[in-house]
Amino acid sequence: MLVELEKLLEILHRERIGKRVVFTNGCFDIIHAGHVDYLEKAKRLGDILIVGMNSDDSVRRIKGEKRPIIPQEMRARVLSSLKPVDYVVVFDEDTPIKLIEAIRPDILVKGGDWELEKIVGRDFVESYGGRVVTVPFEFDISTSKIVERIISLYCG
């Protein structure tokens, strides 16, 4: 379900009692098997999976002017329909630190390509006893690799 942060915090106030809240984030531009596997693994770590999704403006600042490929409304719709995902919240900043501080997840998850020391929010989550987990990738795929493959196939 796509929700605004304020609504999500109201929901969590009721729902999180006795449950583990897991948070992850990303651009989720072209959803692929790697995303699905990653989100399934993240969900298994807890009871409620919240995904912070970068807004279009945020993706452009991080990935460049030609991204995202898919507009945020469509990305959010696809992401929120995936079985492991309980809530999607869009953020406009370059990092999800404000979301992490507001949500206070029990478990913060990032992909295995992230070094623990570089995970945004790690210090904050660990400061109150939360865990930070990296999930190994099952598939060697990314939106950037998909775009590169399309370009090589159709543009020479």
Per-residue pLDDT of 23-73, as tens digits, reads: 999 999 999 999 999 999 999 999 999 999 999 999 999 999 999 999 999
Query: Rounded to two decimals, what is the model's pTM?
Result: 0.94
Q: What is the pLDDT of residues 111-136, one digit of tens each?
A: 988 999 999 999 999 999 999 999 99
Predicted pLDDT of residue 88: 98
Tokens 């492991």 -> residue? 84
Write down the domain spans for the chain.
5-154
Q: What is the mean pLDDT of the chain?
A: 95
CATH-assigned architecture of domain 5-154: 3-Layer(aba) Sandwich (3.40)
* pLDDT tier, 155 (very low <50, low <70, confident <90, very high otherwise): confident
